[in-house]
Amino acid sequence: MERTRVLSSLWIFLCCFNFHAVKGAQPNILFIVADDFGWNDVGFHNPGMLTPNIDKLAYGGIILNHSYVEPLCTPSRHAFMTGIYPYKSGMQHLVILPEQPYCSPLNLTFLPQKLKQLGYATHMIGKWHLGMCKWECTPTYRGFDTFLGYYQGQEDYYNKTVLGGLDFRDGKDVVRGDMTYSPITYATRADHLISKHNKSQPMFLYLPFQSVHEPIQVPEKYEDLYPNVKTEGRRKYSGMVSAMDEAIGNITESLKRNGMFNNTIIIFTADNGGWPTFYGNNYPLRGGKTTVYEGGTRASAFIYGAGLKRTGYTYDGLVHAVDWNPTLVAAAGGQPDVGIDGINLWEEIRSGLESKRTEFVYHIDEVLTLFEGHEAIRVGDYKLIQGYPGPYPGWYKPDEVTADQTIDYRPANYLRSYQKDNSSIDIGAELFNIKDDPYEHNNLAREQPALVKKMQGILDEYRKHLVPAMHPPNDKKGNPANFGGVWTPGWC
């Protein structure tokens, strides 16, 4: 009788947790996000950038040439974690500001939660920016076994404070006194996690770097790598990129030292385009962070490693930020959720097959501010933009931040001039053929009214699922002054 019970519970165990049977085949996943990182800010797009470690992985893996993200930090991170378009979750407008009492909806399943169900150890190092007004919103409660990093959108790279509050935690514990430049802190943490990892379990490490978001800060030795760059800001920014690259090299070495490298998938992606005001560069793409032009949304990205069947080439298929959730769940041997926006592209990407994605929503944000109030979709080769595309409408070369002297690209002035005279925005819409015109020089809206109308119809269908943006006023209850000078959950 005992024996039967033991056998039957064993059977249940085998039946219901059969992922154990394929455990050997489950890859480790290292998901790297570079913050505000431009198209033209990486060696494999621009030989002037010194990123040997990134380039080696990119050239040995698959460079993703049409990998799209949202135009801003919070919406892209929401898409990475949930596989759902931000506009369907009320997460589309701007980013979560430090004292805003909201977060990514708590009824959504995050990627690490899915991977935990598949047997993964799950870790996060870096920037969260998906809300922190209550503990349930934070990484520790959303699927991560460990967390070292910060909750808000930016902070000082050394002292880890922003707006007068310390924002740095290990799990739920405040970390005080760490004055190390953040990519070094992160690489050190990654090495600890990798070294003490139980190798019989697969590992997921989500690594959204602070780099290279403003403030523009870097130890001198990295800046000194770019004596030829004239503008001080661009020189420092370039150094920040190389410091991040060194951190990635160190983490790669740690994976090798610990025998995990050849069973690891590495994904590298920007969260949005470079920010022209802070020396990020997307040339020759148009626009930048906050715009729905390609410079704000077409990410520098690659995938490397375990399970890839064809490598050393550039993948031209469409990939969107929402696709990583189901794609990585599939790579981990699981069943992607149904009813999400993301498409499982694992087989297509790893074998170099045509992408199953043929259209996507760049962004829908119904709230007009200095930065947003626009809609854009892609259908095949065509892209439709409606409304205010965002500031930075031009093409900016590195080291020449104000290259386009005819347009005052500062957000407030640009919005004002756009509102006064937006006649360049033919018939209220812009239409581009991204295949023929990837840099968005030729607005076809006037020539192709029938296509505009058709695309507007498709956009109308997408917009039916809009959940109005959550963008509550700041709440002083969240101020770190109420929590001993530390940004702390527990005020919503």
Ligand X SMILES: *[C@@H]1O[C@H](CO)[C@@H](O)[C@H](O)[C@H]1NC(C)=O
* Binders of ligand X in range 383-422 (CB under 6 A): 388, 419, 422
For residue 424, state whether it binds ligand X (rule: CB under 6 A): no
Structure token pair of residue 285: 């793409």
- Please identify which residue in 73, 103, 203, 425 interacts with ligand X, judged by CB under 6 A: 425
Burial of residue 1, with CB atoms counted within 10 A of its CB: 0-12 exposed, 13-18 middle, 19 or more buried:
exposed
Of residues 8, 18, 262, 417, which one binds ligand X by CB under 6 A? 262
For 28, other C-beta atoms within 10 Å of its C-beta total 25
| Catalytic, out of 78, 93, 123, 129 | 129
Residue position matching structure tokens 């920014």: 237
Decide if 16 is catalytic.
no
Residues from 87 through 106 that contact ligand X (CB under 6 A): 105
CB of 128 to ligand X, least distance (A): 20
Residue 340 or 402 having the CB closest to ligand X: 340
Instruction: Between 24 and 230, name the residue whose CB sits nearer to ligand X.
Output: 24
Yes or no: say if 82 and 325 are a contact pair by the CB < 8 Å rule: yes
Task: Compute the distance between CA of residue 241 and CA of residue 224 in angstroms, rounded to an integer.
Answer: 12
184 is an interface residue for ligand X by CB under 6 A: yes
Q: Which 329-348 residues touch ligand X, going by CB under 6 A?
A: none
CA distance 366 to 360: 17
The answer to whether 468 contacts ligand X (rule: CB under 6 A) is: no
Minimum CB distance to ligand X smaller for 4 or for 206:
206
73 is catalytic: yes
183 contacts ligand X (rule: CB under 6 A) = yes
CA 442/CA 35 separation, integer angstroms = 29
User: Distances in Å between the alpha carbon of 252 and those of 24, 124, 138, 349?
Assistant: 21, 16, 27, 22
If one asks whether residue 65 binds ligand X (CB under 6 A), the answer comes out as yes
Active-site residue (options: 45, 66, 73, 471):
73
What the block records as the tokens of 377 is 């979709």
Tokens at 416, concatenated? 């004002």
Could you say which of 46, 113, 161, 369 contacts ligand X (CB under 6 A)?
161
Whole-Å CA distances, 114 to 172, 266, 379: 22, 18, 30
Q: What DSSP element (H or E) covers 67?
A: strand 67-68
Decide if residue 428 touches ligand X (CB under 6 A).
Answer: yes
Where on the chain is the footprint of ligand X (CB under 6 A)? 65, 105, 107-108, 156, 159, 161, 183-184, 187, 198, 200-201, 215, 243, 246-247, 250, 259, 262, 314, 316, 388, 419, 422, 425, 428, 438
